[in-house]
Structure 1
Amino acid sequence: MEERRGGLRSREKITDAFSKGRHGRRGKRKASAVRVDEAKRSTEEEQRPPSSRRARVGRRSDQQGGSGGVSKPALRKFLQILRRRLLNDERGRKCRESSEHFQESCEKLDNLIRSTIIHGTNNSVLLVGAPGSAKKEVLERVLGDLLAEFNEEGKSASVGVVRLSGLLHSDECSALREIARQLCDTWDLNFLKSASFSTNLRFLREILSELDKGHKTVIFVLDCLDLYTTKQKQGLLYNLLDALQGSQAQAAVVGLSSRHDCLELMEKRARSRFSYRKVVTPAPPPEEGIRVLKELLTVPEGSAGDDGLLSGSDPSLQLSGERDEEEVKAFNREVAAMLCSEESKAVLDRFFKCNATIYTVEQLVLGLICSMDGSVSTLTLPMLRAACGSMSVTTLVKQGLQMSVLDLTMLVAMQRLEKRGKESYNFQHIYKEVESLRSADQRFGQEAALESYVRLVEQKFVETIGDHRRQQEFRPSRLLMMGCEIERIIAGHPNCPESLRRSAANIFL
């Protein structure tokens, strides 16, 4: 009996093993069949055109919601709306005119030119500001208001405008010919193209006296005034200002320049005939820049554009329905929260120290829109840092990243002197500071440091002031770079020593 039981048990084990093996082989065959099907599907997917694969992926991604409750189709629509509003000329003008500094500059310039028109006095003024600080917008706003107020349709103009540019009218002959042409066009006179320099100069004096008799005013606009202060172009300034002063005509001269020392570049005979009135268009403070940035990144609620800027545009950009309104509010809420965070304020504050104009704000907004469009997500801190960092690379920074360690040490030494309150310093002061900055393995001789100092002056990193008859090492100088630019050079310089990085870090704390 026991032998029979043992035989039954062994047969059961063999049967179980056989059934398990059979089922195992079936499972392996099923798994292999699944793998073959997956391989066939992947092969068919690869053989399909790329457009169909992208469309399938796009449909799957579009069905998913964007970050913060904003769907990706809605985000793309919002970015397209922001881009169109940003590239609209009327929108840019409104952003500039909303600034308080813009209004103050307009009032000052309007008062000076208006006194010339009403009281018949000669005036000259310099409109100065950094590139992109809305100098031309201020001038065009004032001139547009004055011409609309004092000139009547169908009658001879009471106020005329003559525009010259230092880039276009490089010599005296072409400049006087252009003045005569614009005066003839304004008051319907015959213009003689073949007139010589002396003939045009005599015509200018005669027409100014005639305009004085008729109580008419002419406004001369000299764009890029600093280009007229070179040696071969000083004659134009002298002849024009002398003609205005000699005729006692009702005329005003408005010079535009980005250099604050433009008047000091004039010769004495021209400078004595040009008043020292200045209207400065300052760069907006960081708070103003952040306000404009937030305004340009905000989607208007209710329609695709504000104040009819995009009326008649693509109907697909029109916002309607509760879903669109909720997504607009969500998008604007996320942008506002991002710009109000402490990290964003620190990044923007550093950015506006080097790029504090409305133009740079608009360029920053365009970069952020492209970043959000590429990643299909709302505004994030890495996007803001990358956009600000790419725009902060100025020409001086690019050049500074390739300078030697000695030149970089000289710049850090000058920055340390300025932090201590020194407005100017000579080479001896700088070299003493360099001696305190050098490490044990780096020593710079005085002759090599002097060569580096001369090189920095030639490359416009440093400018010398005061008496030029002094020796080079005793001549006062000052730095032409900002601290944030030097900090960026040190952060990106490939060969900057660690000791110099630590010394510079103490300066920029």
Structure 2
Amino acid sequence: MSKRRTNDAPMPIGECITQLQKCLRERLCRQQPPSRLEASEAQHKHLLELLKRTAVHGESNSVLIVGPRGTGKTALLKCVLRELLQEKEVQKNLLHVHLSGLLQTDDRIALKEITRQLNLENVVGDKVFGSFAENLAFLLEALKKGDRSRTRPVLFVLDEFDLFAHHKNQTLLYNLLDVSQSAQAPVAVVGLTCRLDVLELLEKRVKSRFSHRQIHLLSSLSFTQYLDRVRSQLSLSDGFPDRKFAEDWNASVQNLCEDKSVEEVLRRHFHSSKDFRSLHVLLMLCVSRVSVVNPTIKPADVLEASRLCFSDAKSNILHGLSILELCLVIAMKHLNDVYEGEPFNLQMVHNEFKKFLQRKSNSVYNFEQAVIMKAFERLQQLELIRPVDGSSARTQREYQLMRLALDHSQIMEALQKYPQCPTDIKQWGMSVFG
């Protein structure tokens, strides 16, 4: 009886908040596979069966998981692997190699990464191979069991699969798919891509070695399911150390999801992107505001998190400009208005700025030509202005044609929020004709 009271005894609020932060951060940062899969059961079953044939029966396979970003391709694979690795035999035998087309930009880097992930650096040593195929064959040969009866199965996951099609001669794809087809070793090749036309990118010899199995994921999410996902991601499980705190927290999450202002914010996110990763960013910003002083997520926290998610990066950059740089941006805005978006150069911007100075007769904003040029170059470094395509780099800097990478509304918003912006500059920026 005393032991039960000890387990149910309330924890200090600070410790509860720490445990809460740890639990939700692990969940929202995608360090754990989702407990419930949004993809259809048929897709899960299909992929599990394919990988089980390789891991258990030594049968080679290749498959593509295709779908728009955020539809759960990686989550599907993680859930399948988690279920597959629950079998002890699979856990001991299956080797997993993860490659990304964004990181392994050529076959040499990819082969080096394969060697590293298979822990075969010492086996390869200083050996020299005549071709990529020989090197890969040697690596797979080195994975044979001690009794030499068979090779350990290897799962190759190729994230951003379409980028591997841009490698020279598609050597990596050809050899991996050739091994999977020729039954030299039990190999499963799983590609993840958001391009529906990915097969058109493959060379004929590569396409002929691919199994043409494809698993398509499409987002058919409703707003009700989206709201349920928010509720489930923020709710605490029964295993939380302090049961009373967990009950109170889950009740507050339920009330939060029923709040009309919160529902409006979530509906806006739902219509802008059904990607769960962007939702997790929003929820993570809300969770980070939870503290001992603020032990629950309030509607105001969701509104502030949404404002941060939808904030314009370029407008934020404008808030950090110097007065001179802001004046040059305003001068460019007026040039855009007068010349209807035609490109401009530093000399034109300087002339527009001088017109403002002449009207104000204010010596405070008088700067030397070298200082103005330096400010103009910094705006280019910040990518607020960019050179016109095809403009000659040999043109004198004062006359090199540029375009403004900001629109009218961004500049207006920045002027309103610029800290302690001088009144005359704000009026100049707001004026129609400069």
TM-score (norm 2): 0.56
Matched, 1:340 2:258: yes
Residue equivalent to 1:289: 226
Change in Cα spacing, 1:142 to 1:393, as seen in structure 2 (3 Å) is same
Matched, 1:112 2:50: yes
Opposite residue 344 of structure 1, the aligned amino acid is V
Matched, 1:251 2:187: yes
Matched, 1:363 2:281: yes
Corresponding residue to 2:308 among 382, 390, 396: 390
1:371–1:383 CA contact under 8 A, matched in 2: yes
SS at match of 1:220: strand
SS at match of 1:151: helix
- Of stretches 210-219 and 92-101 in structure 1, the one that deviates more from structure 2 is 210-219
Alpha-carbon distance between aligned partners in 2 of 1:150 and 1:74, rounded to the nearest angstrom: 40
Matches within 5 A, 1:109-188: 109-116=47-54, 121-129=59-67, 134-149=72-87, 151=89, 157=93, 159-179=94-114, 185=120
Corresponding residue to 1:241 among 166, 174, 177: 177
Change in Cα spacing, 1:231 to 1:218, as seen in structure 2 (3 Å) is closer
Matched, 1:191 2:123: yes
Q: Percent identity?
A: 28
Q: CA deviation at 1:86?
A: 0.7
Opposite residue 170 of structure 1, the aligned amino acid is T
Alpha-carbon distance between aligned partners in 2 of 1:172 and 1:130, rounded to the nearest angstrom: 26
Residue equivalent to 1:82: 20
Q: CA deviation at 1:204?
A: 3.6
* CA offsets 1:146-179 (integer angstroms, 9 cap, x no match): 355373798xx4x443433334433323433554
Structure 2 residue runs of 5 or longer lacking an equivalent are 1-10, 318-336, 344-405, 414-434
Opposite residue 266 of structure 2, the aligned amino acid is L
Matches within 5 A, 1:32-111: 79-88=17-26, 96-101=34-39, 105-111=43-49
Residue equivalent to 2:210: 274
SS at match of 2:155: strand
Opposite residue 108 of structure 2, the aligned amino acid is C
Change in Cα spacing, 1:296 to 1:233, as seen in structure 2 (3 Å) is same
Change in Cα spacing, 1:135 to 1:193, as seen in structure 2 (3 Å) is farther
Opposite residue 225 of structure 2, the aligned amino acid is E
Alpha-carbon distance between aligned partners in 2 of 1:177 and 1:95, rounded to the nearest angstrom: 28
Alpha-carbon distance between aligned partners in 1 of 2:46 and 2:204, rounded to the nearest angstrom: 26
1:129–1:282 CA contact under 8 A, matched in 2: yes
Q: CA deviation at 1:264?
A: 3.4
Which is richer in helix?
1
Opposite residue 221 of structure 1, the aligned amino acid is V
2:85–2:91 CA contact under 8 A, matched in 1: no
Opposite residue 125 of structure 2, the aligned amino acid is K
Matched, 1:264 2:200: yes
Change in Cα spacing, 1:150 to 1:333, as seen in structure 2 (3 Å) is closer
1:205–1:247 CA contact under 8 A, matched in 2: no
Matches within 5 A, 1:225-236: 225-232=161-168, 234-236=170-172
SS at match of 2:105: coil
Q: CA deviation at 1:280?
A: 4.1
Larger radius of gyration: 1
SS at match of 1:337: helix
Provide the alpha-carbon RMSD of the alignment.
5.0
Q: CA deviation at 1:133?
A: 5.2
2:60–2:183 CA contact under 8 A, matched in 1: no
TM-score (norm 1): 0.49
Q: CA deviation at 1:110?
A: 0.8
Alpha-carbon distance between aligned partners in 1 of 2:15 and 2:149, rounded to the nearest angstrom: 61
* CA offsets 1:333-386 (integer angstroms, 9 cap, x no match): 444233124443232122123343443333322222344559848544443233
- Of stretches 266-275 and 145-154 in structure 1, the one that deviates more from structure 2 is 145-154
1:173–1:197 CA contact under 8 A, matched in 2: no
Change in Cα spacing, 1:74 to 1:245, as seen in structure 2 (3 Å) is closer
Residue equivalent to 1:349: 267
1:226–1:265 CA contact under 8 A, matched in 2: yes
